Amino acid sequence: MAFNRDFNSDPFIVIWELTRACQLKCLHCRAEAQYKRDPRELSFEEGKTLIDQIYEMNNPMLVFTGGDPLMRPDVFDIAEYAVKKGVRVSMTPSATPNVTKEAIEKAKNVGLSRWAFSLDGPTAEIHDHFRGTAGSFDLTMERIKYLHELEIPIQINTVISRYNIDYLDEMAELVEKLDCVLWSVFFLVPTGRGQESDMISPVEHEKVFQWLYDLSKRVSFDIKTTAAQHYRRVVIQNKMREAKNQKDEIQYLDALTQQGLTGSIDGLGRAPKGVNDGNGFVFISHVGDVYPSGLLPVKAGNVREQTIGEIYRESPIFQDLRNPDKYKGKCGVCEFRHVCGGSRSRAYAMTGDYMESEPFCVYIPKALRKKEKTTN
Ligand code: SF4
């Protein structure tokens, strides 16, 4: 289903922020979550209409996020409606006392595909600092036991920052030990409560990408990255080195892109073609505002006024984001722009322009290297 999907008409994944309410106060919260629910949240009935519209977009994956989705008492009714329609739903609840055995049982009964928990460090000290709540690590460990008992596949989400970069080996060991199906590794974008000073450097990004690629070859879980489109470039470069086929890089990439095969390259985990903000990816806020991603706060419309399909397909913001030839700076001339394109969210967060170049990529595109040689 996913590989042949045309991202100009249908996204691969839809993220719906069911609520912004959450009991935690994480250091890098994108949503700047609040303790109380917003009365303007999409209602259950509006949610059902939204799910119908999402299904019409060639049935993409649907993720319930927050805030904490469990702060909505109707979360499992919404999930049930989606699952009965045939939508694959997963959820990213916060590790709070709301995650009871009963809640997990309900999730299992309605047929939730996967449960994702955040773990930002291999120890309580690191993780709890990050999440701003003592006891969050221990609670997560305990709830993972429930998930295993009920045989619900587990995903771990980790935000890479200067707080945990020195503990990544231990973190990977923990993900393996916890028998997770997917490790979703987020690279910090300075938006919401995320601070630029907490980010790792561009060179460190590159080193972590290489480390992740090597790791992907020896672990049983899949690895997926978020806000790290240039990881795809690192994977492709590695594959090419391994195949000792460095003769015609561009031709190789073009062939892959044209055949829609970039998603089948080993090591890319769950990602199909080059998913990027607004390109295979769409985010709906708790009040129905539509954004290219939760990390790119440029509103393209609201589902109370237009369908999600109309906004995704026709908004000039989304259309521009799906056109890497229009990107500025080095991303715009890079031979990897159609498979990578850099994080549009990070470009926006750091320059104010989502079409600008990814500021945390060390790669110098061939076109610029050639230009440099000619000028010298
Ligand atoms: S320059 Fe841009 S498109 Fe090229 S690899 Fe870096 S982030 Fe990706």
Q: Distance between CA atoms of 84 and 111, rounded to whole angstroms?
A: 9
Mutate which of 333, 350, 363 to test ligand 1's pocket (most atoms within 8 Å of Cβ)? 363
pLDDT band at residue 245 using 50, 70 and 90 as cut-offs: low
Q: Distance from the CA of 117 to the center of ligand 1, in angstroms?
A: 30
Which pLDDT score is estimated for 240?
85
Q: Which atom of ligand 1 is nearest to the CA of 331?
A: 2
As given in the structure block, the two tokens for residue 127 are: 């993780």
Q: Whose CA is nearest to atom 2 of ligand 1?
A: 331
To 10 degrees, the CA torsion angle through 140, 212, 266, 179?
-30
The alpha carbon of 124 is separated from its chain's Cα centroid by a whole number of angstroms, namely: 24
Q: Distance between CA atoms of 165 and 205, rounded to whole angstroms?
A: 10
Mutate which of 189, 225, 336 to test ligand 1's pocket (most atoms within 8 Å of Cβ)? 336
The alpha carbon of 47 is separated from its chain's Cα centroid by a whole number of angstroms, namely: 22
Tokens 């990213």 map to which residue?
A: 92
Q: Distance from the CA of 221 to the center of ligand 1, in angstroms?
A: 26
| Cα separation of the two ends of the chain | 49
Q: Which atom of ligand 1 is nearest to the CA of 342?
A: 7
Mutate which of 361, 366, 368 to test ligand 1's pocket (most atoms within 8 Å of Cβ)? 361
Residues with CB under 6 A from ligand 1: 230, 233, 330-331, 334, 336-337, 340-342, 357-358, 361, 363, 365
Which pLDDT score is estimated for 259?
41
pLDDT band at residue 266 using 50, 70 and 90 as cut-offs: very low
Mutate which of 238, 328, 334 to test ligand 1's pocket (most atoms within 8 Å of Cβ)? 334
131, 128, 107, 19: which is closest to 66 by C-alpha? 19
Q: Which atom of ligand 1 is nearest to the CA of 330?
A: 1
286, 197, 273, 194: which is closest to 229 by C-alpha? 273
Give the length of the chain: 376
124-150: average pLDDT: 87
Q: Distance from the CA of 365 to the center of ligand 1, in angstroms?
A: 7
pLDDT at 314 over 90: yes
To 10 degrees, the CA torsion angle through 121, 124, 129, 131?
70
Averaged pLDDT of the chain:
87
CA distances to 123, 142, 295 from 348, rounded to whole Å, are 33, 38, 9
Which pLDDT score is estimated for 115?
85
Q: Distance between CA atoms of 92 and 19, rounded to whole angstroms?
A: 12
Q: Distance from the CA of 361 to the center of ligand 1, in angstroms?
A: 6
Q: Whose CA is nearest to atom 7 of ligand 1?
A: 342
Which pLDDT score is estimated for 221?
94
Q: Distance between CA atoms of 375 and 260, rounded to whole angstroms?
A: 36
Q: Distance from the CA of 217 to the center of ligand 1, in angstroms?
A: 23
pLDDT at 186 over 80: yes
Q: Distance from the CA of 202 to the center of ligand 1, in angstroms?
A: 12
What does pTM read for this prediction?
0.87
pLDDT band at residue 260 using 50, 70 and 90 as cut-offs: very low
92-108: average pLDDT: 82
Q: Whose CA is nearest to atom 1 of ligand 1?
A: 331
Residue 286 in contact with residue 302, Cβ under 8 Å?
no
Q: Distance between CA atoms of 186 and 31, rounded to whole angstroms?
A: 15
